[in-house]
Amino acid sequence: MGDRILVAYATKHGATGEIAEKIGQVLRQSGMSVDVLPARDVSDVAAYKAVVLGSALYIGRWLKDAAKSLEANEKALAERQVWLFSSGPTEEGDPVQLLEGKLVPEALQPIVDRIRPRDVTVFHGYNNADKMSGFEKWMIKRVKAPMGDFRDWEAIASWAAGIASHVRQTETH
């Protein structure tokens, strides 16, 4: 197990990928060696000391690539420092409250419980009409979700800095 950190993500229109890139950037600025990769490109996490895995939420679910990565790597993830994030809510207010306290989709909760991540969080998302299909726009209208970029870059950077701090502390102990 090296001292590298993996930031893996599943994104539909790129917004969650940008969150993952920001997390990677903050970790690199903290002196960490980081790979930022789409979850579908991750076959094995054995080379990593720590893993950050995130997904966009669609209709309360993680995208298949992230869910599959979590399931396929469950045993290895349970032996590593892991952080999980979802991106999704596009409204004002606390994103966790907007999801009624559900930090991960219900179907994934048993796996998450076995992995025991260091932290699980939810970030605001981005509804970009320019990248959506007609059906997606219709769905957004139906659930009355506002359009626009609701991502909180300060919250994302702060969370990533916390990861860097935790990883550094475990290196010295």
Q: In the chain, where are the structural domains located?
A: 4-172
By three-state DSSP, how is residue 122 classified? strand
Written as tens digits, the pLDDT of the chain (173 aa) is 457 999 999 998 888 999 999 999 999 999 999 999 999 999 889 999 999 999 998 877 899 999 999 999 999 999 999 999 999 867 676 666 666 667 788 889 999 999 999 999 988 888 777 777 877 777 777 777 777 778 899 999 999 999 999 998 877 65
* Terminal-to-terminal C-alpha distance of the chain: 16
Contact predicate 46/76, CB 8 Å: yes
pLDDT at site 20: 97
pLDDT at site 173: 57
Task: Residues 4-172: name the CATH superfamily.
Answer: Flavodoxin domain (3.40.50.360)
DSSP type of residue 104: S
pLDDT at site 124: 81
DSSP type of residue 8: E
- What is d(CA 48, CA 76) in angstroms, rounded to the nearest whole number? 10
pLDDT at site 1: 44
